Structure 1
Amino acid sequence: MQYPDWVMEAKKSRELLSWIQDPVHSIKKFHSQLFIKCQEENCMLFYAASPWRDCLQLRKPKLCSILYLPDYSLYEADSVFYQAVGIPADFLFPTKESLKKEVEMKVTHLVKNMMDTNWDQLLLKYQHQRSSLVPNINRIQVEETSKRFLEAGIKPEELFYSPSFTFEKAQMEYTDVMFLYTLNHAKKAVKMIADKWLSESFWEISQKRIYIGCVREEMKELQKGAA
């Protein structure tokens, strides 16, 4: 296996690799710091024990890093893990927050693709949501909006509604459990989150898409009338 650079340059890498592959011992000391490891599917979680004199008490262990075993990518690595394993300080690793943003981008991309390729199926699937999928269209408002866009130099063919997913806007919590599930099952996690978002908010997406479509068509008509 070709290990990533952080493994090759860590001072205690051999000792760490030996411990990771050890199926018996889940507790080990590195540089006077006691660590506990546990495995969740393809992820190895490392906890740093509290600095009590009696190390067997292991009071309040703190998560200090997560290792994705298939490629040895490291997440959520804190200073305790850096120092104990001897990882050079210039190495930076993804965090739960950075992965959250990556997931949001992937969910957004997936839903956009579904809208482009399966719009009719989405309308059928989510037709019984709490609000109508079709907005109340105000003709005057559509015309005024169309004029503003044209005056701003926006072309009809440039105008499309594109939803953007964030956990906050969708009122979904990105929990530690979801974080681990995303590491272990990236594609399934993105699909699951996208489905949940659509199941609760497709009516809003549909209304905005239809409204923007009406504005786009009105812009075309205004252009024809001015020609």
Structure 2
Amino acid sequence: MPTALPLSLLDQTLRAIPRRYRVGPLPKVRSGHEGSDPATALAIVIEQARVALSADATPPPACERLFVDALSRLIRDALRERGGDSAFQAMVLRHQSPLVREHASLSAHAQADRRAVRTAVDAFAHPGKRRGLPAGPVVDALASLHAAATAEDWAALSENAQALLAAPASIVAAEPTIAGPLDRLLNDPALARLRRMDALAADPLVQRYQALWQRQGPRPGTPQA
């Protein structure tokens, strides 16, 4: 079996082989070109530094200055109200605001939380579950619970569940199997997270964050997606 060529010799061979589609030398970026495209300037500076390092040389100090200048202009352009990068702006807002970070974290689990709460409500308040019950305040309360869950009105769902659980014993006693599910529903972390997410939605920064993301189109997991 032939011995593998040393890496240095292989490298020299590859460098000597003509490349039919080799890109020509990049133009140099100099300071004072504030009107140039910052993304292009950034790419050129990075390539200049790479070429210097590949030749075992240290990139000139000007490369660092030009890199910082191009990067800062790129960030400023992305943060512009008009024509900026809405996804980047949303990321910056999320980094700056604890409330936005909390809302974003809750949103990541919201779809699963909605399913969990609706399933819990359906287990005792679904129309099929109410069909065999006698008409009265319990059936009416269960219908209100189910309607609130369907409408994803988590505040109303909690209030209705608390009201039913606090109803006179004679009313709840008419259907004793609902007391346990009601108590579990009110103590369900999924419901608490959904209520907290709704409360955070009133914050102006959270609203700004949501508006920025909506510019990217429907988010995964939303009904619009």
- TM superposition score category, shorter chain reference: under 0.3
TM-score where L is the length of structure 1? 0.24
- Structure number with higher strand proportion: 1
Higher Rg:
2
